[in-house]
Amino acid sequence: MLRYIIRRLVLLVPLLIGITLISFVVIHLAPGEPTDLQTQMNPQASSELQERLRVQYGLDQPLYVQYGRWLGRLIQLDFGESFATDRRPVLDKIFERLPVTILLNVLSIVFILAIAVPLGVVSAIRRNSGFDRATTILVFTGFAMPSFWLALLLMDWFGVRLGVLPVSGLKSLGYEYLSWGAQLLDRISHLILPVFVSAIGGVAGFSRYMRSNMLEVIRQDYILTARAKGLAERTVIYKHALRNALLPVITILGLSVPGLIGGSVIFETIFAIPGMGKLFYDGVMMRDYPLIMGILVIGAVLTLLGNLLADISYALADPRIRHTQQANRSQ
Amino acid sequence: MRLLRKGLLIVTVIVLAACNQSDELNHPGVEQVTTPAYGDTFIEASIGDASTLLPVLASDSASSSINGLVYNGLIRYNKNLQIEGELAESWDIAEDNLTITFHLRRDVRWHDGEPLTAADVQFTYNLYIDPATPTAYAEAFKQVTRVEVPDPYTFVVHYDKPYAPALISWATAIHPRHLLEGQDITKSPLSRHPIGTGPYKFSEWVGGEKIVLEANPDYFEGQPYIKRVVYRIIPDVSTQFLELQTGSLDFMGLSPLQFDRQTDTPAFRRLYNKYRYLNFGYTYLGYNLKRPLFQDKRVRQALSYAIDKQELIDGVLLGYGAIATGPYKPDTWVYNGNVQRYPYNPEKSRELLAAAGWEDSNANGILDKDGVELAFTIVTNQGNDLRSKTGEIIQRRFREIGVDVKLRIIEWATFLKEFINPGNFDATILGWTGGPEPDQYNIWHSSKTGPRELNFIGFKNAEVDQLLEDGRRVFDEQQRKIYYDRFQEILAEEQPYTFLYVGEALPAVSRRFRGVEPAPAGIRYNFTHWFVPKAEQKYSR
């Protein structure tokens, strides 16, 4: 197992370099340069300034030199400075946005699992019942609904009309002066709408997935055996069937690791949440190459690690895979 | 002056905007007489986070509006857009217009307690012209030949040619020498934690979330009444508007739709006063004069006659705007209203086109000449709804006189790189924002037609060149007006642009705030005098 992991880890390196190379080239294919934003269409800026900025940013060099320099710094874990006028280190910018994004995504995943798993299981057991049909309709409505539209409706309803929840942001003004309990309440009230809206699509998709998984498992012979043994229906469903139906969840969780640091621009923009999605979007619009590359690299690393993690935990959780591996090795 | 990218910016950049007409709503009955009181918080939203709070590096509107409260210039525009002293008590312009001497106030201190002296002004000048400083605002200072500091409170600038825009270039924020000298400006901690001389001190910046300023009790013009200013970063305007409706924001620039339809409720009027005044800035349809089609003046005039500008204002701005006749705002001293105008007149338009040889010889509804149809493409940038709507309306009107027009909407960077910079376009809908200074050299002078320069339509007119050069060389308004009046006449006659409209700023301000006095400079010019009566103060901390 350990050898397998190390081999996978080593293989990640060329893969990662390949990813950065392609990303780097693609980003530079987009028209416009970071210096344009500061100098173009500005009567006060001279073309001399444009050239000076290009030299300062190293944009006067050929692309392969730029990539080489960037990679050289990356190896020393130096992500460079942003091309935005503030010239802050890319890592500072990313770490400033990361906690909020991770918090929201974790809450959202927990919410999705907490709702979607029971929903899917019950729908599967009571297949074609009124409940199943009702959830099917609801779930597809939720899936089809544009999240920005839903967000605005909820903000208008709960924030403006009823006035029970804050419209946007993460904290109220004067948060610093609240008591500990009030601070917690304040934070929760700000998180309710964003978490709900960001999770709604996931709940829809995941509960469908759960339902079909469960249906598949229930048809298996060992469930028949379990029933034939005279086990209680509860035990059959929640012990034997659910466990097996949950296996693919591991893969999904593994794949959602990179998603933890990714955000949605639309969603963050609407709720005025300073997250990774907006940071990345703004970076792209301003052609802030070091920032874009920094986020892409972190995203790529997490995706690759997430995949690896999913594979490993799959092997740990599913004896069939574990045994096949051992069998392969002994051959 | 910068090119407007988004309609949103039009409504947020109102600092330099002048008052056109005040709405009925501005005078909500008899206000009880209230005495100014200190305290309360003013909360406004910004669509983007500030980039840097060092004015020399900042070029975005969020940073600029914050820097405006934290720093001071030597001079500024007053409510009537006349130049008055700020850090400078007075100034003298020498007979030959080549030397300006500023006399500084002696009672100004930086937020850290150090006194402000002429050395700071000299340092600021050096900072701007330093080649290592990546600033977009060095041009005006490059005209300076020499500066002198005869004593700590006198600052003298010399020019080798008289340069009228020079005076207002000294409205530039003065930077603290004692904190910045000998440092790499791009790495200065002041970019995240500014120290200025202005009415507000920097307090807190939570990235992507908010920026907080506190009143400066030692401000040389007296402590501002409002104790705290909070800029909340809310990137979505719909969200901003929802926040406004809950009363969480005290100020917002409204869109015409919001102003006209969505705020016309008793609940909203109870919370906010609305104001309207013309923006500095106009939208135009510019013709690429390097294209043979547009080299005939009659064609350009014909197209101007074919556009119903009032229809654009009514349709796109819901009536909140004025017809533009040239590059200046109708209510400024430099504006010349006695120029050739182009009221909607399709007959006249057809006549002019016929005179230029364009006729529908094959009766397919599109004019042609020598077998070529009269067809071209209008390009504009993505993300500006007003411009794309304007384009659609113009497209229809042009079709009616037999001109086949396509409209292409392109992402900003691509738009500049592939279309504007290489001159690869027929016509474009864009806008300019400006200020009270009338110098238009960079946009209309024939020397500015190079790649990446602002006269990208390739307008070349010897008389205009001369007028623009003369206009920069005199300081006297009346004399300048003679040059700029003629300049506007030529533009109106030549129609290198069809000047379309000037939009209005439509701000809503919470009714708690008193002392708001609309003037030619807009409403924000006297922000330090706004106050909330003690009984109505909302935020105690």
Q: Each residue of B43-96: pLDDT tens digit?
A: 999 888 888 899 998 878 888 899 999 999 999 999 988 899 999 999 999 988
Instruction: Identify the pLDDT of residue B11.
Output: 34
pLDDT reported for residue A328: 59
**Helix H segments across B47-198?**
61-70, 118-129, 139-142, 165-169, 177-180
Of B134, B443, B539, which is closest to A43 when you measure between CB atoms? Answer: B443
Residue of B63, B239, B443 lying closest to A270 (CB–CB)? B239
User: A176, A251, A261: which is closest to A213 by C-alpha?
Assistant: A251
Residues of A in contact with B187 (CB under 8 A): 87
pLDDT band, residue B3 (cuts 50/70/90) = very low
Give the Cβ contact number of residue A52 at 10 Å.
Answer: 18
The whole-angstrom distance between A43's CA and the closest CA on chain B is 6
pLDDT band at A38 (very low <50, low <70, confident <90, very high): low
Predicted confidence (pLDDT) at residue A48 exceeds the cutoff of 80: no
Q: Are strands B144-151 and B375-381 parallel, antiparallel or unpaired?
A: unpaired
Residue in A with minimal Cα distance to B246: A160
> How far from each other are the two terminal CA atoms of chain A, in whole angstroms?
16
Q: Do residues B12 and B61 make contact, with C-beta atoms less than 8 angstroms apart?
A: yes
Q: Which of B58, B236, B453 sits opposite A85 (nearest CB)?
A: B58
pLDDT of residue B510: 94
Kindly identify which residue of chain B lies nearest to residue A84, measuring between CA atoms.
B51
Q: What are the pLDDT digits (tens) for B329-388?
A: 988 899 998 999 999 999 999 999 999 999 888 888 899 988 889 999 999 998 888 999
Q: Do A49 and B412 touch (CB under 8 A)?
A: no
| Separation in Å, CA of B220 to nearest CA in chain A | 29
Report, as an integer, the average pLDDT of B507-533: 92
Name the residue facing A49 among B138, B242, B245 (closest C-beta): B138
Backbone φ and ψ for A167, nearest 5 degrees, come out as: -75, -50
Taking an 8 Å cut-off on Cβ atoms, the answer to whether B539 and A270 are in contact is no
Collect all residues of chain A within an 8 Å Cβ-Cβ radius of residue B239. 152, 155, 167-168, 269-272
Amino acid in position B250: D
Q: Is the CA virtual torsion B246, B251, B257, B261 positive or negative?
A: positive
**pLDDT grade, residue B2 (50/70/90)?**
very low
Alpha-carbon distances of B527 from A184, B68, B250, B258, B524, rounded to whole Å? 35, 11, 13, 24, 5
The distance of B4 to chain A (nearest Cα, Å) reads 9
Pick the closest to residue B52 from B147, B159, B185, B177 (CA basis): B185
The Cα of B14 is separated from the nearest Cα of chain A by a number of Å equal to 18
Q: Name the minimum distance, in Å, from the CA of B344 to any CA of chain A.
A: 31
Complete DSSP assignment for B242-299: HHHHHT--SEEEPPHHIIIIIT-SHHHHHHEEE--EE-S-EEEEEE-TTSHHHHSHHH
| Min Cα–Cα distance to chain A from B249, Å | 11
Domain architecture of chain A: domains with CATH: 90-330 (1.10.3720.10)
Dist CA B396 CA B308 (whole Å): 11
Our CA-based measurement puts residue B505 at a distance from the nearest CA of chain A, in whole angstroms, of 22
Residue A29: its chain B contacts at CB < 8 A?
A: none
Q: Report d(CA B449, CA B463) in Å as an integer.
A: 16
Coil, helix or strand at residue A165 = coil
Give contacts of B3 with chain A, Cβ < 8 Å: 40-42
This model's pTM is above 0.90: no
CB-based contact B75:B165 (threshold 8 Å) = no
pLDDT beyond 80 at B30 = no
Chain A residue numbers touching B9 (CB-CB < 8 A): none
The 10 Å Cβ neighbour count of residue B540 is 10
pLDDT band at B323 (very low <50, low <70, confident <90, very high): very high
**What's the whole-number mean pLDDT along residues A209-227?**
86
pLDDT of residue B32: 53
Subunit contact A274:B135, Cβ cutoff 8 A: no
Residue with the bigger pLDDT between B210 and A205: it is B210
Instruction: Tell me how close the Cα of A140 comes to any Cα of chain B, in angstroms.
Output: 27
Which of B60, B134, B208 minimises the CB distance to A97? B208
- Contact criterion met (CB < 8 Å) for A41 and B131: no
Between A and B, how many residue pairs show a Cβ–Cβ distance under 8 A?
A: 143
E-state strands within A196-261: none
- pLDDT at position A321, please? 67
Burial degree of A134 (CB within 10 A; 0-12, 13-18, 19+): exposed
- Cβ distance of A49 and B136 shorter than 8 Å: yes
Which pLDDT does position B196 carry in this prediction?
94
Task: Give the list of residues 6+ apart from residue B382 with CB closer than 8 angstroms, or none.
Answer: B409, B410, B411, B412, B415
- Which secondary-structure segment (H or E) carries B232? strand B228-233
Domain range list for chain B? 50-191, 281-505
Residues A253-272 have pLDDT tens digits of: 777 777 777 777 888 888 98
* Average pLDDT estimate for B499-525: 92
- Cβ atoms of residues A63 and A26 within 8 Å: no
Using only C-alpha atoms, chain B has a radius of gyration, in whole angstroms, of 25
Instruction: Pick B50-191's CATH classification: 3.40.710.10, 3.50.50.60, 3.90.76.10, 3.40.50.170.
Output: 3.90.76.10
Are residues A274 and B49, on separate chains, in Cβ contact within 8 Å?
A: yes
- Spatial separation of the C-alpha atoms in residues A96 and A80, rounded to whole Å: 16
Q: Which fold has domain B281-505?
A: Dipeptide-binding Protein; domain 3 (3.10.105)
What percent of the residues of chain A are helix, what percent strand, and what percent coil, each to the nearest 5? 80, 0, 20
Compare CB distances from B246 to A167, A270, A275 and report the shortest one's residue: A167
Gyration radius from chain A CA atoms: 25
The answer on pLDDT for B188 being more than 70 is yes
Q: What is the pLDDT of residue A59?
A: 83
Show the DSSP H helices in B71-170 as ranges: 118-129, 139-142, 165-169
- Which of A41, A93, A95, A189 is the best residue to mutate to test the B interface, defined by the most B CB atoms within 10 Å of its own CB? A41
* Mean pLDDT taken over chain B: 88
Q: Which helix (H) or strand (E) holds A245?
A: helix A242-261
Whether pLDDT at B16 is above 50: no
Task: State pLDDT tens for residues B289-318.
Answer: 999 999 999 999 999 999 999 999 999 999
Confidence (pLDDT) at B529: 93
pLDDT given for residue B26 in this prediction = 45
As a whole number of angstroms, the distance between CA B1 and CA A41 comes to: 9
Of B139, B192, B412, the CB nearest to A44: B139
Length of chain A: 331
For residues B73 and B87, is the Cβ–Cβ distance under 8 A?
A: yes
